[in-house]
Structures are given as structure tokens and as C-alpha cells.
């Protein structure tokens, strides 16, 4: 390779946008060549089929397949390929083979998921459509999203029919709907200082139906994490056209589409489609359906693990609808019940996992709150989700603490039902961040952290990258160390990205059934849990932060971590927050989740802001439409929920920290300030009394009518 970049301006722009420009420049110089290494030459010469991408004489893009059996490709030298074969009858490729034209090649062996790509120039053609190609760029690709297939080829096509149209027919839609694989061609023709231009063709895979047919002309397509070259999207950026190729390996039908492309960096369904980092829309301009061109005895499929981890449109739509309806209560059946430690049990809830962000929680009630007649059965409690976001069912983990949790521990069993709302909450972290994160928890505060750890492992599998994370977990002993073995397994799977540090505050535990058992001191165990037998001190936290920063190797401008996440009881929260501030973790970088009214006092924080009045008249209309109270609120009364409870009003509530929405009601008069800001989505005429204070008004009316 020369010292010039292997990537053109469009590819560089996309790499810059997603934050991988520097590393991809270094990587690209190592793997993108102007010739084929011998193993690539051997690979091409043994392929039974080949995918091509090109531009026709009218400037439209297409993708084609040549399937002739092994031996139809020759490579006389590292910079030359010769393709010897008659093309498929009716394929527009026959009209597009002109010397000097750019052409993209994808060599792919579906039987072993191997693939290599070429960008080439047509050097010469013959009447028999023998092509002599000169290599411009050659590189390999990983096997992600390739479904493994064993295909047997018969060379005789059963039809010469060509169905041409300007939009998708029902038969074309059927091919797309059942497809788990397609190929996309793109073209870069904006000559830069290196006079580069040319075609590319690449593979796309997912679950069957991963392409959404919006109408007769528009397709919506998810883009999953790949090799970060962004050859296709870089071409799209400079030349928003594409050619798509679908092959029905069972029937032998070939479907070719040509049209325009729009990259969608934002879309209402994007957050709900597993593994999708962006969408793109393909607008059909030309359709060529070539029935029964290829012949195969069978189409045995083994799906790529990456494809199975990707999303589908029905789930994405259900999740989007669930967000809009998150206040609705739904009945869930208990499908698993696990004792995690002396005082914590986990239950799994039947029903499709409509998606959540690790760190979020769900509201739970033993009976339907919409039929509330009073009593503990109708109490609402919030529990963090502790499982993987990829699991079919939601998992919550409950500490024996209070009447509702006691009911869950002592009376619920497999097959029983409870009521839940959709996941919500803002205590979440980005596992794809480039900088390290510190998680610190005490007791059952470990539950959202376990979900975050699962996400880290999930992203390593899906995206081959996850941020470095250290978890400090504080509990009394090994007997109360919830998720000890589960976290141990996640550490092993994390490839060094996750470390777990246990601090046992009680007496020395008995023998621990773990690899860490032989190394009871914190600085001995390198690959699994680190164990210390006292509460974490400032120096302990500093040491963990130093280890995390050194292992990550990213310059944070003198900082040891970019973010810290805290979850646990009130005293722990304040003590840990104060230590983090001494260790120069910025207040804005410390995220806290509490179980009740927050006692965490942040620096420069003062509830007596100018907007909160000294006193106000508060009226409350109950669920039956009667005025329950009309009294004077004073600042020392606290939140409006505290005020109502103080005066004997049986108002609904759960978290008392603005995150569950259990206390939500309408406000039909007056102004309030929500402090802290609500984490539960509410309408413009609603408030959460647990964190609401009268503001700039003398009178407030709260309305609990449905």
C-alpha cells in the first residue's frame, strides 16, 4: 500500500461521525491491499458462485450473481482475476461490461461463512463474457451475519422469463419477506486527489424478514455493527444509489432492484430494534425478477449467532407501542423462581420482552392497581430489572424488606400472576462508550448493575466492543453476595472488560465455593472476583479506579473514570458520593439510583431555590371526585406527597424519588417544580407529587380522578 489513506472521503466522513476514524485508518492500512494475497487467490479460484456490483450504461446500480460451479475463476497473478462463464439469461450485467468500468466483487462461501471483497477494473471482455479484471483494492471480511448453507448446484436454468417493473409485485415482496440474506452494490464516482472511483458489493444478513416493506416502492433496512470500514455507507454518502440482489436459494429465483438510498440516523423504531445502529431506506426505481434461474437441491440453513441476536420489526413496533403505553398495567405469569442469596429471590415474568435499557426498573403490584380498593395487595413497588435485555422474559430480584416483598418471598410460586408496567427510568449507561465506567453498589443495589454487566457481554458478542467496567459490590458476607457466581461467569466472558470487587463487611465468611476462594485478598485474583473483608475506603476505590484507567488505555485528560454509577441505601449513597468527589469525579458524572426519598446531597444543591414558595393552599380531589383535603402547605412540609401523607390522605406511591410514576396525578391549578426532575414520562397537565413542590403560586389543586 501507499502512504495514502485506503478510505475515500465518504468512508472517512462516516467513520468520523461514529467515532472510529483514527483506529480504522490504522487498521485499514494493514488489511486493505492493492493485490490479492495467495490465500485470497486460492479462495476465489475454488468458489462455485460470485457476487458482482456495477453501474449500467444509464448510471444505475445493480448487483448480480454468477453461479457456475468451482473452477470458473482464474488468477494468473496477484493483481488479476479472470471470470469464464456465460451470464444468467436476462441479467442486466451483460449490458454493463465495458473495459475501464469499475466493478465490485464479493467472494463468499456460504458453507463456511468465509468472504473476501475486491474493487476492480474491467480490463477486457470476450464474446463469451469472459472478464479480465485488474485489482484496485482487496481485503477480507469477518463472518458476521452470514447464514451457513450447504447448496448443490445444477447448471441448467428452468426459465428465461424476465419480469420488469417499476415497483414491487406480490411475488417480489414474498422473496424479500422470507429473505435472511441479500447483497448490496454501491458506487463512488467523486474523483478525489487520488483519482479514485469504483464499485463495491457487500453482504447483509439478519433474521428472515429483517427488511421492512413499507409500500410498493420503499424498503426500510437496519444496519448492524460490522467491520467499521463503511465502504457501503461511504459510497451512499457521496452517491445515494444502490443495487440490491435477493436469491431464493430454494426456488432459484433471482430478484434485482435498482434505486435510491437515504441514510436514517434517527427513526422512531431505531431504539427498539436490537443491534441496529442506524436504518437506511431504499426507494425502488427498477425491478428485474428472473424466475428459476438457479437450481439447488436443498437450502439447509444454520443461522449466524449475530443474526439471531438482531431484532425484528414486529418486536420493534411492539416495543415502541409499549413506550407510549407504559402506564398500562399488564398481567404477567411467573415462569421461574430462584433463590439468589439469604435475602434475595429472582422471579422471571412470562411475556415478550419488549426491550429495556440496562439499569431501568418496572413497577409491580400483586393485584391490578386499576381496580384499587385499598390494601397491600394493591401497593405498587419498583424493582430494577436484573437480567439481560436479550432474554425473552423480564427478571426482577427482590430483597425481603416490607410487606410486598415478603409476599413475593413467602407466597408467590410458579404459575402465579402479578401486574407490571413497562420498563422506565434514566439510571442507564452506554456500554459502547469509549471511556471506562465505575459501578458501585451496596446490598440489593446490585440488581441494575448485573443487568449492565450482561449488556457488556451482549455487546461484545454483537458488536465486538464494549467499554471497560469495574464493579464494586458491598454486602455482609458470601451468603448475602447476590449474583456472585453469575457475575463470576460474566467476568470470564468479558475478555478483560469487566472486573468485580467484593467488599464483605461482616465476619470472615466460611470457605467460598469459587476460584477466588484460594485468594482471599483483593490484589491476588486477576481474572475473577477480588474480595476484601471490610467496607471500601477511599484508597480502595482509588486503586480500583487506577486499575480500570490503566487497563483501558484511553486518555481522559487526567481523570480516572468518565462516569460513576451508584445504587444502594441512603447512607451508602452519600458516603460514596463524597469519596468520589474527593477523587475528582465530577458531580455531573455521578449517577445515582435510590430506593426511596433521596438523602443524597450534591454539592451546591439547595432545594430553597427562588421558584419554591414559602407556603401555598393545596386542594386534593380524590378518585371519587370528592375534595379530600384543602390545607395550607409550608416549606417544612416537604414534597406534596409528604404533605398529603402527613395529613392522613391515602395517596398512592412507591419509589418516592420521581422514577416509578405510581403517585402520578393531574394538576388542574397552580404551578410546581419537580425536584429532582421526573424520570417517569408524564403529560403536560400531570405531576409526580413525591418530588413536586409548590412554585410561584398561592394555590394548587391536585386531581386523582381517572
Cα 155 from Cα 678, distance rounded (Å) = 66
Question: What are residue 364's DSSP bridge partners?
Answer: 381, 420
Q: What per-residue confidence (pLDDT) applies to 522? A: 36
Select the highest-mean-pLDDT range: 74-83, 364-373, 684-693. Answer: 74-83
Q: What per-residue confidence (pLDDT) applies to 511? A: 37
* Cα angle 210, 214, 216; round to 5: 115
Q: What is the mean pLDDT of the chain?
A: 85
Residue range 665-679: average pLDDT? 82
Q: Do the beta carbons of residue 380 and residue 412 sit within 8 Å?
A: no
Question: What are residue 348's DSSP bridge partners?
Answer: 336, 395
Residue-wise pLDDT for 371-429, tens only, equals: 765 555 567 888 999 999 888 889 999 998 888 888 899 899 999 999 998 888 878 88
Residue-wise pLDDT for 450-509, tens only, equals: 999 999 998 888 877 788 899 999 999 988 999 999 999 999 999 889 999 999 998 654
CA nearest neighbour of 657 among 610, 592, 704, 597: 597
- Say if residue 676 is preceded by a cis peptide, omega within 30 of 0: yes
User: Which residues lie below 8 Å from residue 585, measured CB to CB, with a gap of 6+?
Assistant: 438, 559, 560, 561, 564
Sheet strands (E) in 388-504: 394-399, 417-420, 437-442, 469-475, 498-504
Helix (H) or strand (E) holding 407: helix 403-410
Whether the pTM exceeds 0.75: the reply is no
Burial 90-122 (b: 16+ CB within 10 A, else e): bbbbeebbeeebbbbbbbbbbeebbbbbbbbbb
C-alpha cell read off for 684: 403536560
Label residue 520 left, alpha or beta by phi (over 0 means left) and psi (-120 to 50 means alpha).
alpha
Q: What per-residue confidence (pLDDT) applies to 441? A: 95
Q: What per-residue confidence (pLDDT) applies to 216? A: 96
Question: Number of C-alpha atoms within 13 angstroms, CB side, residue 612?
Answer: 19
Cα 470 from Cα 687, distance rounded (Å) = 37
Cα 353 from Cα 319, distance rounded (Å) = 8
CATH class of 615-703: alpha beta
Question: Number of C-alpha atoms within 13 angstroms, CB side, residue 522?
Answer: 20
CA nearest neighbour of 232 among 222, 242, 224, 219: 242
Q: Do the beta carbons of residue 667 and residue 694 sit within 8 Å?
A: no
Q: How many CB atoms lie under 10 A from the CB of residue 412?
A: 17
Decide: residue 7, CB within 10 A, 0-12 exposed, 13-18 middle, 19+ buried.
Answer: buried
Sheet strands (E) in 206-343: 212-213, 218-223, 241-247, 254-264, 278-290, 295-296, 300-302, 330-341
Fold of 326-420: Elongation Factor Tu (Ef-tu); domain 3 (2.40.30)
**H-type helices in 188-251, by residue range?**
231-238
Residue-wise pLDDT for 57-86, tens only, equals: 999 999 999 988 888 999 999 999 999 877
Q: What residues does each domain of the chain span?
A: 9-314, 326-420, 437-593, 615-703
Q: What percent of the chain has pLDDT over 90?
A: 48
Q: Which of 16-20, 421-425, 557-561 has the lowest mean pLDDT?
A: 557-561
User: With 90 as the cut, is the pLDDT of residue 215 above it?
Assistant: yes
CATH class of 437-593: alpha beta
Just give the CATH number of 9-314: 2.30.110.10
Helix (H) or strand (E) holding 73: strand 73-77
User: With 60 as the cut, is the pLDDT of residue 597 above it?
Assistant: no
Q: What is the bridge-based pairing of β-strands 437-442 and 563-567?
A: parallel
Q: What per-residue confidence (pLDDT) applies to 154? A: 60
User: With 70 as the cut, is the pLDDT of residue 322 above it?
Assistant: yes
Q: What per-residue confidence (pLDDT) applies to 525? A: 36
User: Which residues lie below 8 Å from residue 137, measured CB to CB, with a gap of 6+?
Assistant: 6, 32, 33, 34, 117, 118, 119, 198
Return the higher-pLDDT residue of 617 and 596.
617
Residue-wise pLDDT for 433-455, tens only, equals: 778 899 999 999 999 999 999 99
Cα 291 from Cα 622, distance rounded (Å) = 68
Cα 287 from Cα 166, distance rounded (Å) = 6
Amino acid at each position: 500500500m501507499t502512504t495514502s489513506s485506503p478510505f475515500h472521503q465518504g468512508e472517512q466522513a462516516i467513520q468520523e461521525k461514529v467515532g472510529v476514524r483514527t483506529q480504522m485508518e490504522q487498521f485499514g492500512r494493514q488489511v486493505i491491499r492493492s493485490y490479492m494475497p495467495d490465500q485470497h487467490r486460492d479462495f476465489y479460484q475454488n468458489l462455485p458462485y460470485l457476487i458482482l456490483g456495477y453501474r449500467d450504461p444509464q448510471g444505475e446500480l445493480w448487483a448480480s450473481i454468477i453461479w457456475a460451479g468451482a473452477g470458473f475463476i482464474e488468477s494468473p497473478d496477484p493483481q488479476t482475476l479472470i471470470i469464464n462463464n456465460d451470464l444468467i439469461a436476462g441479467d442486466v450485467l451483460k449490458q454493463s461490461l465495458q473495459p475501464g468500468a469499475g466493478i465490485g466483487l464479493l467472494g463468499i462461501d456460504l458453507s463456511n461463512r468465509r468472504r473476501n471483497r475486491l474493487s476492480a477494473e474491467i480490463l477486457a471482455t470476450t464474446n463469451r463474457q469472459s472478464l479480465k479484471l485488474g485489482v484496485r483494492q482487496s481485503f477480507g471480511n469477518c463472518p458476521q451475519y452470514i447464514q451457513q448453507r450447504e447448496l448443490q448446484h445444477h447448471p441448467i436454468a428452468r426459465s428465461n422469463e424476465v419480469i420488469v417493473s417499476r415497483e414491487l409485485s406480490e411475488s417480489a415482496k414474498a422473496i424479500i419477506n422470507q429473505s435472511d440474506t441479500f447483497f448490496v452494490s454501491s458506487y463512488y464516482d467523486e474523483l478525489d486527489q487520488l483519482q479514485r472511483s469504483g464499485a463495491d458489493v457487500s453482504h447483509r444478513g439478519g433474521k428472515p424478514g429483517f427488511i421492512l416493506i413499507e409500500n410498493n416502492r420503499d424498503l426500510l433496512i437496519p444496519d448492524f455493527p460490522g467491520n467499521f470500514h463503511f465502504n457501503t455507507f461511504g459510497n451512499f454518502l457521496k452517491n445515494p444509489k444502490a443495487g440490491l440482489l435477493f436469491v431464493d436459494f430454494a426456488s432459484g429465483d433471482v430478484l434485482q432492484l435498482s434505486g435510491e438510498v437515504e441514510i436514517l440516523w434517527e427513526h422512531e423504531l431505531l431504539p427498539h430494534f436490537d443491534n441496529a445502529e442506524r436504518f437506511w431506506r431504499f426507494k425502488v426505481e427498477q425491478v428485474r425478477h428472473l424466475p428459476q434461474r438457479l437450481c439447488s437441491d436443498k437450502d439447509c440453513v444454520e443461522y449466524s449467532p449475530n443474526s439471531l441476536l438482531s431484532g425484528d420489526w414486529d418486536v420493534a413496533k411492539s416495543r415502541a407501542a409499549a413506550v407510549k403505553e407504559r402506564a398500562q398495567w399488564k398481567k404477567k405469569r411467573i415462569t421461574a423462581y430462584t433463590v439468589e442469596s439469604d435475602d434475595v429471590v429472582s422471579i422471571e415474568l412470562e411475556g415478550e420482552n419488549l426491550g429495556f435499557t440496562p439499569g431501568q426498573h418496572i413497577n409491580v403490584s400483586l393485584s391490578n392497581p386499576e381496580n384499587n380498593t385499598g390494601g397491600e395487595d394493591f401497593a405498587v413497588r419498583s424493582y430494577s430489572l436484573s437480567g439481560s435485555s436479550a432474554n425473552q422474559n423480564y427478571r426482577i430480584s427482590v430483597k425481603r424488606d416490607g410487606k410486598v416483598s415478603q409476599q413475593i418471598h413467602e407466597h408467590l410460586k410458579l404459575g402465579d400472576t402479578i401486574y407490571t408496567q413497562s420498563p422506565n427510568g434514566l439510571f442507564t449507561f452506554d456500554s459502547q462508550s469509549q471511556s471506562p465506567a465505575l459501578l458501585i453498589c451496596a446490598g440489593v443495589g446490585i440488581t441494575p448493575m448485573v443487568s449492565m454487566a450482561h449488556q457488556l457481554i451482549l455487546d461484545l458478542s454483537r458488536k465486538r466492543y464494549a467499554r471497560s467496567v469495574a464493579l464494586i459490590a458491598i454486602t455482609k458476607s458470601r451468603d448475602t453476595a447476590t449474583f456472585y457466581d453469575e457475575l463470576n461467569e460474566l467476568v470470564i466472558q468479558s475478555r478483560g472488560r469487566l472486573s468485580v470487587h467484593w467488599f464483605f463487611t461482616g465476619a470472615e465468611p466460611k470457605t467460598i465455593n469459587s476460584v477466588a476462594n484460594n485468594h482471599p485478598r483483593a490484589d491476588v485474583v486477576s481474572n475473577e472476583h477480588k474480595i476484601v473483608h471490610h467496607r471500601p475506603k477511599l484508597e480502595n476505590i482509588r486503586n480500583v479506579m487506577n486499575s480500570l484507567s490503566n487497563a483501558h488505555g484511553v486518555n481522559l485528560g487526567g481523570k480516572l473514570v468518565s462516569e460513576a454509577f451508584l445504587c444502594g441505601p441512603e447512607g451508602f449513597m452519600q458516603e460514596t458520593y463524597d469519596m468520589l468527589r474527593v477523587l475528582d469525579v465530577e458531580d455531573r458524572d455521578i449517577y445515582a439510583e435510590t430506593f426511596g426519598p433521596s438523602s443524597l446531597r450534591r454539592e451546591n444543591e439547595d432545594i430553597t431555590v427562588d421558584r419554591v414558595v414559602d407556603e401555598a393552599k393545596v386542594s386534593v380531589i380524590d378518585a371519587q371526585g370528592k375534595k379530600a383535603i384543602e390545607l395550607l402547605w409550608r416549606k417544612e412540609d416537604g414534597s406534596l406527597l409528604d404533605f398529603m401523607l402527613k395529613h392522613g390522605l391515602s395517596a398512592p406511591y412507591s419509589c418516592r424519588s420521581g422514577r416509578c410514576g405510581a403517585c402520578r396525578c393531574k394538576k388542574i391549578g397552580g404551578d410546581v417544580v419537580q425536584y429532582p426532575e421526573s424520570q417517569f414520562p408524564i403529560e403536560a397537565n400531570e405531576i409526580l407529587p413525591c418530588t413536586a413542590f409548590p412554585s410561584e403560586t398561592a394555590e394548587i389543586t391536585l386531581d386523582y380522578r381517572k
